[in-house]
Structure formats: structure tokens, C-alpha cells
Structure 1
């Protein structure tokens, strides 16, 4: 059982006190920002942030999408439990304690005296509604596919501050899973919301589509008041422009940069946990032949990509999760770059009648991470070098999600999609459930045998769990080949000269505004 008699102090002792220099409101014109409110900075009136893209939604149940989560998570809405991204420990938030009260049952005690930003009381009924809506409903929430899969939960409000959650099978990491469900005020269970109402330190003040999103401090927040009266998000697709906005004192924090975007001394590297890979539609020719999938792995010059495109700030990847996540297999090495082997595999497949000349479309979501457009072009050329008919297709986010998340676009032949997956939970199950099972929300194919391997691993605990998932990743590499792993990424952001902020592995998915404050 985890319990806490904390108080009204938010985030517990693990959050460091972080300071940020004064900021001003953004007023953009073209690709520049008029610094018309610079005098608001010292008073902590506005924090200015610039993102790579405009969020497609602020719906809480889609906050596992990075472009949504970086605005919503722990800012507008909050979960029952939060995970410290550095230590991996779980801490109380809207729930103050939890314990397993049966093989498949967990009981949560909720925080008293909390209200949503519209004045509605937060209680067990509200928590149950949010969980049911996200996991058991028909909204196709991203958090359902990414974190929970097809398993429905039984959620019961025992009384106003007691919540019971039951799972079909024993789930030793259910509290961790629930840390990904952001609790919004009870609303339409049949439709997603544009501007959510939560319990967080900030509320949505306005969303001017195509221009900016403004959050206003929630003066009735249950915990410690955040430093800034408001936060203003804008977006620019070019990393060099985002970096220049910070170096020119037109923004305070710029997200999603690469090492050579020009932030200079204001650029900060941080260890994110994102893995970039090609995900195969392995039941569509010619990708339905394992030799073709193996050939692609040999054909990708991962060292060249990480050194040239990312200036050595990333490194070749060997599996879908990074070190530090339960299940990481430290015995796996990245596939070697070997064009001769790749060509031989393609030739062998062709000799057996595999239509290797059929088109393989390499799909990427524009702006998903730095230099994704250039990476996609490089991958196209490297596949062509081994005799495959590859075509690059970079699309905007809403279209890209139709290739990435079920129901997939399936009428365009073989797809090798550029994906970036970050495991914020610290456990392999959160990667394999959505990306590797045959019916995973983001999996285009698998095998029944591999499903059983993954199912058995998910039921384990402790060292047995670590070893079972490590073995599963070795099995995937040798027997299935669902991916061509490319790089483990390093995050880069820019912060103004007067800003003190320490990004962590979760920063790219949830930049917590309550962790920043004026320097003076």
C-alpha cells in the first residue's frame, strides 16, 4: 500500500524548486514576435512557450499524444497518481493512498476538498466517470490504446472519497497505468471536448485556432499556486525559428529542437526516452516476407543518421524501449549496417516469388520530431539502394494519426511508418501492449505465438518480469521483426538566459508549468 498524509502541498518532496526568468505575452506576426509586453515578465504575469506544432486536441483522454500532453497534462488536468520521471516512484495527487484489495482489485482513497475549475466538486463519481470515459467508452481515446488496450475496467465509487477499480486479470502495475488518465470534469461521454475543465493549476482561457493557446492561473487551485498568472503557447514548425524566438527574447522556452537549430548556449540537452523506428505493415507484400523486413534493418545506416542528422546527440537503437525501463535487454545490439546482406535477402525473397518491386510507402508525421522530413528522405534512399521500391510521404498530424493508430489506412499497399515512441511509464508493458500485440492500437501485425510470450511477461513481477520482457524483445528481433529500430533520441530545448529549468525524460510529453517561476 502507498499512502500519504500530505496536505495541500502539490507534487511532494521530489519536485525541485525551479525558477524561470520573467516572461512576456506573445504577439506574433509572420515568423516574428512583437515583444510588446516585456515588462510583465518580472511580475510573473506570463510564461511564453513555443511548440513545434499546434495541438490537434486538448481532450484529456488523448493526452498521451505528446502535442496534447505537453499543454494538458498536470497543467489543466491531473491524474489520481503521478510518476516521478527521474526516480520512477509513484506519488499521491488526486488520490492520497492506494492498495491492492484483491487479486484483481485496487482501492483508492481520494483527496478531499478538491474542485474542478468550474466549481464542480471532485469526488469518486467524477473519477469513475473519467476512467470509464477514457477506457471503457467508445471515444477511441489514445490513452486506451496506448496504456490499457482492449481490457475494460470495472470502476465503482464506494463513497465520495473511495474508488475501487477491478481488472479482468491481475495487473500489478494498474496504479502506474492510472497515472496516465487525466481527470476532467464530467462531460459528454459520447464526444470529445475541445477545451477541458480539470482540477489543475491552470484553466483554458482561450484557444485562438492557428495562433495561440492561453492558460490562466486557477485561483481556486487546491495545491500551491503556480508562479505565473498565465501561460501562452504558440507554435512554429521550423526549429531554427523556435530557437531564434528564445535567443531574440520573444519566447522563454522553445520545445523540440535539434542540436544545430541555433539555440547556442541557450540550448539544453536532456535525456528523453524516445525511440525512433520504422513500423512495418508485416502482412502486406512485400513486407509480409521476414527477409524483406530483415533487409531493411541491414540497409539503414543508423550511425550515419545519428551522427549527421542529429550531430551525435542520439545513438543507434536496438529495441523499442531505452535503458532504465523494466524489460530492457542490454544484450541486444543495433542491427549492423550491411548493404551486401540486405541485397542478398531481397534477392532471395525475389527468387522465391516475393513481389519486391511493389511500392513501400514510408509515412512520417510532419513536425513530430526534429528533422523527420530529412530522415524520411534518407530512409527512402537507403531502401532504394537494396532494390526496394520506396516512396516517402510526409503528412500533417491528423492524417498521420490515421496511419499510426487503428483503424489504419490500409488501401495504399505496404507501409513502413516512421514512429517515435516514448515509454514514460518505465515498464515494457506500456510499449508492447500498443505496438507489438496483434490487436495493439498501434501495431500493424504480430503473431499469436508472440502474443502469448508478451501475455506471460505482463503477468510477472520483479526480476521475473524484467527477464521475461528482455527475452520477448530478443524473440521479436529473431522471429517477428515488426520494426527497424533507428535511434534513441536526446531532447533539446531552448530557455531564455534568465530561465532556470531542468528538463527531464518526461518534458517532451508534459512540461509542468507549476515547476517554473520568475527568477526574482
Structure 2
């Protein structure tokens, strides 16, 4: 009898261990709000994408476009009319029904003249959105756009309800498998499983996103087990320690993050000066010094893993002598530029290296370390900067260069016309040709200095399964995450 009782206790303990259903995820940046339709910060989607909010379509872990709230869709022969069939039985977290009228509201709101959506351009080609019936939505385009399902997969295109849209920033109400249970600003966001979820139930019943900005503190938190996984780990110099420890797995993949030294094209209007800055920079030295070797050099705003990528790194190769010649041609002497750095380690560490490289060709910098909210307000929205370092993590976003009011303020009508042509082109070969031409133009205009494609370096408890290896969009999708024994 004693042996039987002991065996039962051991089995129960083993089962309890195997069935762990809570997880703590580390993040370096805290989102400024929790509404993906009303903010540009990648940290918003890192918490809520696919977890709290859902769109008609979504990105899969391999970058594919998959059904989400729409179970299927089709397009007319002329490419102008798209019909989306919605899943039945979908409700928002407050218990209200999600139907076609909510889709109409969400997309009309995103494309409205007074919209605050950070990616409003995704919706510009939409002429109308109609509810055919409760489960069917018809989207009519002004011109054919084969990328519509791709556009609708962005976090900026999630479906929200008119009753809660205005308060989603602080009290999110979505349709996803998790609800927001608590947000302790400056510390964490807690999610709990949505038992009324319309789709497959996640294995996790609770998740905590813990915000740890300091790389040393992040290392200590993972080592101590206070954080179960840090999908985008801010201290790549310590990865070897985790690789040598069987308790952990190190996950290295790719991202959509083009890391750039962005230049204010209004305060730096002379392309020769911008070109000089690019030649002053040694990309590999930045990758080695700031990222400890993790990163792929780029010469334009396009991901190297994309089949349409053009390697233009030679056009802005490290050439300090050429940089000095260009500054002399432009008649520039005693140039001092304001270098605004947001919190990520790639920016703070990279900024110090770039400042030294620029000083070597006669350009001084005044470095200002900004908190994320301050960077968004002063640099991104206020355009009050000369140089900044940031990783653009949105997928295939070269179209931002067609927006003259975007924060680096590049205004080239020829480029804008090319992007307009690309947006309506449906032939794959023609789209590829236009994408390559777009890369050539911004590289030749030296709009920004293109540094490297951000690697995804993550660390996790070795028992965790289902974390994304790559980042086709900025997300910590927990829908397929579980613990093994």
C-alpha cells in the first residue's frame, strides 16, 4: 500500500511539472500603450499581436499570410473586389459579438482622414468597406492590390469594437485567446486565458510580460529563473553562457528589422553630406562592437532574406577619405550634429561607435540618450533631430520613403510615383523589378545610412516549445507555446 501511494504521488508530481501553464516573458521596452491601431512602437505588438487582438488575416511564424478572423477570402477577376468570410461565434473580451459591422468600423476608422493609425498608408487603396451580412465583408479597392491580405495582417489592422476602441490604449478589448488582466506600468503586463475564445485554446492559462531595460538585469533575471524566456535578448555578449548551460536554449533567427542611422533630410538637405556620413561608417565594426557579431550588413532599406533584396553595400562602403572629400566639396566645416538615441542596446552601443567614426572624418556629434516615449515624441513625431539610430521592424516597409512627412522627411516625387505603381501592380515579376528599383533610388539618394539587419537572439528555458525563431512581424505570439516535461 505504501509503495502504491508513493507511486501515485510521484506520478502526480510529474504530471504537475509537465502541465505548467504560466510563463514570464522578458522584454526590453515597455509599450507606451496597448492599442496597436494607435501607436508606432513595436513593443505594443510584442505584447498584444495574436494574443489579445486579431485581424482578418495574420502572419504565421514563417512569414506566410494565414486566416485569422476571416476563415477564407476571394477576389474578383479585375482585382478590385475582395470578399472575406468571417468565422462564426466570435466575441470580444467584453462578451459582445464580433461581426462584419465591426470590420467595417475598424477599417473605416483606420483609413479616416483624422486617423491616428501609424500605418495609415496600408488602407489608402480602399475605396469602400461593406457588410454584406453578419459574416461577410466586401472590400472594394480603387486599384488592384495583390498585397491586401498582407496589409490586413499587420497589427495596425486588427479588428476593434466601436464600444471600446477609444479606451483600448489602457484597457484593451480584443477577440484573442488572452485578455489583459493587469498592467503595472514600469513593470509588467499580465494576460490570462480567454475561456470564451472562438478558436483553439492555448496551452498557457497565464502570461506575464516583464519589462527589463538593463542588459545586465536581463541576464540576471533569466539565470535566476525570474524570466522564463527573453525572445529578443538585449545582451548578445552573454549568449555563450546560456549555450553552455543545458537549462537554456539559445534561439537565433532573423527579423524584419532594418537598423539604420536615420538622417533628417531637412536639416541635412545636401546629399553629399549624407553620403559622407555613410562612407564614414564601418558597418562591421558596429555589428561586432554593438551586437557582438550578430547582424547582416545592409545597403538599403530591405531585408536580405527577401528574394527581391539588392546588395548595395558597396555603394556606401567604409571610406573615410571619400567622406572627407565629399564634405570638402559641399563646403562643410566644423559640422556638429545632434545624435538622438532611444533605449535599445543596438542604439546606445552603436551610437558611441558611430560618434567615434564620424569624428574621424571631422563631424562632431552631441549625443542625447532618450527614453522611448521621449524618442517617439521628439524624433518620430516632432522631427527634432539630425541623426538617430532605430530598427524598423515592420515587414516590407520601403513604402515609408514615399511619405514626405515621415520622420526623416525624404521628399522625392519620382520615388513616390514608383511606390504608387508598385502598390497597384499585380504581376509578380513586375513587382520584383519595381522593388529593386526602389532600393536603388533610396540608396543612391543616401536618404539614410543603412547599417544591418537585426538578428533575433533569444534565450528560453529549454523546456519551452513553440516560441518563434524568426520575426516576420514584431510579435511574441503565445498561441502555440507550451511547456514540455
Same fold flag (TM > 0.5): yes
Aligned with 1:234 (options 197, 205, 210):
210
Hey, what does 1:264 align to over in structure 2?
242
Q: How does 1:482-497 map to 2 (within 5 A)?
A: 482-497=447-462
Q: 1:74 to 1:289 in 2, by over 3 A?
A: same
Q: 1:241 to 1:506 in 2, by over 3 A?
A: same
Contact 1:52/1:255 (CA < 8 Å) preserved in 2? Answer: no
Q: How does 1:32-431 map to 2 (within 5 A)?
A: 42-62=18-38, 65-86=41-62, 88-101=63-76, 102-136=78-112, 138-144=114-120, 147-148=122-123, 153-180=127-154, 181-187=157-163, 193-257=169-233, 258-261=235-238, 264-265=242-243, 266=248, 267-284=250-267, 287-325=268-306, 327-330=308-311, 333=314, 335-350=316-331, 354=332, 356-367=333-344, 370-405=345-380, 407-410=381-384, 415-424=386-395, 428=396, 431=397
Q: 1:189 to 1:272 in 2, by over 3 A?
A: closer
Tell me whether 1:476 sits opposite 2:457 in the alignment: no
Contact 1:136/1:153 (CA < 8 Å) preserved in 2? Answer: no
Tell me the SS of whatever aligns to 2:95.
coil
Aligned with 1:449 (options 414, 434, 444):
414
Contact 1:446/1:482 (CA < 8 Å) preserved in 2? Answer: no
Tell me the SS of whatever aligns to 1:305.
helix
In structure 1, distance between residues paired with 2:186 and 2:286? 33
Q: Deviations over 1:494-513 (max 9, x none)?
A: 10132234533227711111
- 1:192 deviation in Å? 5.4
Q: Deviations over 1:78-130 (max 9, x none)?
A: 111123242x4322111011122344321111111111111111100011112
In structure 1, distance between residues paired with 2:416 and 2:328? 31
Hey, what does 2:428 align to over in structure 1?
462
In structure 1, distance between residues paired with 2:405 and 2:57? 25
Contact 1:47/1:231 (CA < 8 Å) preserved in 2? Answer: yes
RMSD of the TM alignment (CA)?
2.4
Dislocated runs of 4+, deviation >4 Å? 39-42, 150-153, 188-192
TM-score normalised per structure 1: 0.83
Q: Deviations over 1:230-279 (max 9, x none)?
A: 10111111123213212211111113323213552233212222111112
**Which structure has greater helix proportion?**
2
How many residue pairs are counted as aligned between the two chains?
460
Q: 1:316 to 1:334 in 2, by over 3 A?
A: farther
Tell me the SS of whatever aligns to 2:368.
strand
